[in-house]
Structure 1
């Protein structure tokens, strides 16, 4: 028994339960009975330490914790035990430790203010990043040999060619949905043939390039943020700067240029596939022959609708790529930051695309392309 910490709970002479601790109560011996001591149920009126052969701070802390929990008196303590217990008396907080929480009418405006302040810093950061991008582009124009053509071709493949299947499938289904729902609504007025106008104009002017931008933001914008963010985390970006390579020229410019160049092509491809989807619905639901549907598109869709989509596409590509590269360059600290910044890149990219699309809609309406 001398080498192990033990305890016994018995009924005392005064009717209360007495917890008798015995043996060495040291950090090296108390682990075997720690869980059993925590599981004791009261009431315990007294804790007897007279049979404790050795005690250290951990043993004294156990005795003090049991005493506080059960409001029990400690008796039979040796001089050493009393000194340790006295030293531990002031370490227990009586009140619950909780974070201060403002009332809701103060907390909500404060949170909104923090968001606005954070947005202002974000705008400053994006403007500064855009300035650094323009400086890098000017430097590459002055020294074209430094431009990384292989990196651009690789990004063109990743952003454009690899995205064709998923964008094609998405656009085809969107074309089917627009044609089917539009035909159902127009049938109430006997104007099913106007489904051709609906599908052609909405896909070439708006949905083709907008849905493509959203898909590119989720696919390529997130990839840009994750790739560059991981390079920041592994200090590859710092290594590039150390050996005299500009990260803006080597990492950012090819990605942004690839997105700007491929977005018009992807947007036109998306609109074309959506029109094909609408033609399929016209063939089977409206009785409009497939080729007649496609031929009719040329007659009812103004040419400026095509130009509207093609003008917006490179702007959307710039926004999506800029958001991805900016948030990737802002990664620091740990791997959790990579996921956070990747999410922020997608969210801010999609949000900015929708806002800019609204401005474009007003602008083109004012110039007579509405």
Structure 2
């Protein structure tokens, strides 16, 4: 039997091929059964590559794909040093084997660079527009499903998962209070310091209070809070739902007849819509506290004068404008986070990508919605 035949150990000889010219001769069996010995021999190979002319394979007794690949790799390693090395003693059958290996040799990596073209630009734009359309449909689908579940909960209040809402509220609101308060305090302090630095040149130091109060209560407080909530709670929602998708827990809910919107989406969105106005109010108070301390230390405006000027500068409408935006921004953040979480596929790469997209989309839409609110309130004179 052929598999009982004893293999001939592979060896390499260096023979003269003229003055200062040598050839590398491969001898024995170069096959998968002797591949270990051949690898060690090639690793220890030292040849005068500047005198080497060719590789001779005519004395090889048995050659298969493994041995041919080793010879091909050795030839490439020698040529990498700057000298062309030929291959001699190759029969027609073995030449076809070497040709096949050459065809399957991986090409050198080249970066994928494409020249700019109008067609490519239009194609990329079209793909992005299709993605936006599909995301909009997914958000409308979740929103419609959410409305249906809410109507069911109103008719059957026992179906409202109050414990889940409380748990999500604790994570979204109570856990976020320290970072929101700290960031808002610093932003309020920075606004007052920069405003005071420029207004003091015109003797209008006291109007720093008006600037900080109106800017914080109408815009900065709610936007800053929404951005932090999108990065903190929105990404957490996406990661949680995405992990459930990867572990097929969402499919299990479908199998046992439970509504994913009722069990997973509604508690998170309701908790976020309750939490964001509270966090916005805390953010406003922290920013005004930071502003008041900076005006006291930097502009010598005492707290009593700060509060008096603040009462004259703001009204109930000023406070309400910022707080009214908060539930809508929370709804947008929650919808995007849940949609992206439910789009996660079965890989960690997909989870990371959709979590990143959730935060980016939420921040973008929060700023867009704030712009629409600004136009609306300006139109009605608020």
TM-score by length of 1: 0.90
Q: Which residue of 2 aligns with 1:197?
A: 210
* 1:35 Cα deviation after fit: 4.3
Q: 1:71 to 1:267 in 2, by over 3 A?
A: same
Q: Is the Cα–Cα contact under 8 Å of residues 44 and 72 in structure 1 kept in the other structure?
A: no
Cα RMSD of the aligned pairs, angstroms, is: 2.6
* 1:40 Cα deviation after fit: 8.5
Are 1:116 and 2:129 counterparts?
Answer: yes
* 1:254 Cα deviation after fit: 0.5
Q: Is the Cα–Cα contact under 8 Å of residues 260 and 317 in structure 1 kept in the other structure?
A: yes
Count of equivalent residues:
364
Q: Is the Cα–Cα contact under 8 Å of residues 212 and 288 in structure 2 kept in the other structure?
A: yes
| Residue-by-residue CA offset, 1:163-182 (whole Å, 9 max, x unaligned) | 11000000111111011111
Are 1:324 and 2:337 counterparts?
Answer: yes
Q: Is the Cα–Cα contact under 8 Å of residues 20 and 51 in structure 2 kept in the other structure?
A: no
Q: Which residue of 2 aligns with 1:13?
A: 18
Residue 296 of structure 2, aligned match among 262, 279, 283: 283
Alignment of structure 1 residues 29-68 onto 2, 5 Å: 29=35, 30-35=38-43, 41=49, 44-64=52-72
Q: Is the Cα–Cα contact under 8 Å of residues 168 and 268 in structure 2 kept in the other structure?
A: yes
Q: 1:124 to 1:35 in 2, by over 3 A?
A: farther
Q: Which residue of 1 aligns with 2:268?
A: 255
Alignment of structure 1 residues 219-230 onto 2, 5 Å: 219-230=232-243
Aligned-partner Cα distance in 2 for 1:132–1:19 = 75
Residue 165 of structure 1, aligned match among 178, 185, 201: 178
Q: 1:191 to 1:324 in 2, by over 3 A?
A: same
Are 1:138 and 2:146 counterparts?
Answer: no
Q: Which residue of 2 aligns with 1:268?
A: 281
* 1:64 Cα deviation after fit: 4.8
Q: Which residue of 1 aligns with 2:3?
A: none
Q: 1:104 to 1:9 in 2, by over 3 A?
A: farther
| Residue-by-residue CA offset, 1:140-171 (whole Å, 9 max, x unaligned) | 22332222110000111111111110000001
Q: Is the Cα–Cα contact under 8 Å of residues 64 and 85 in structure 1 kept in the other structure?
A: no
TM-score by length of 2: 0.87
SS in 1 for 2:344: coil
Q: Is the Cα–Cα contact under 8 Å of residues 213 and 316 in structure 1 kept in the other structure?
A: yes
| Residue-by-residue CA offset, 1:4-27 (whole Å, 9 max, x unaligned) | 433233431386431111232122
| Residue-by-residue CA offset, 1:71-104 (whole Å, 9 max, x unaligned) | 51321x5xxx752432442453498676875421
Q: 1:166 to 1:25 in 2, by over 3 A?
A: same
Q: Which residue of 2 aligns with 1:74?
A: 88
* 1:136 Cα deviation after fit: 2.4
Gaps spanning 5+ residues in structure 2: where? 1-6
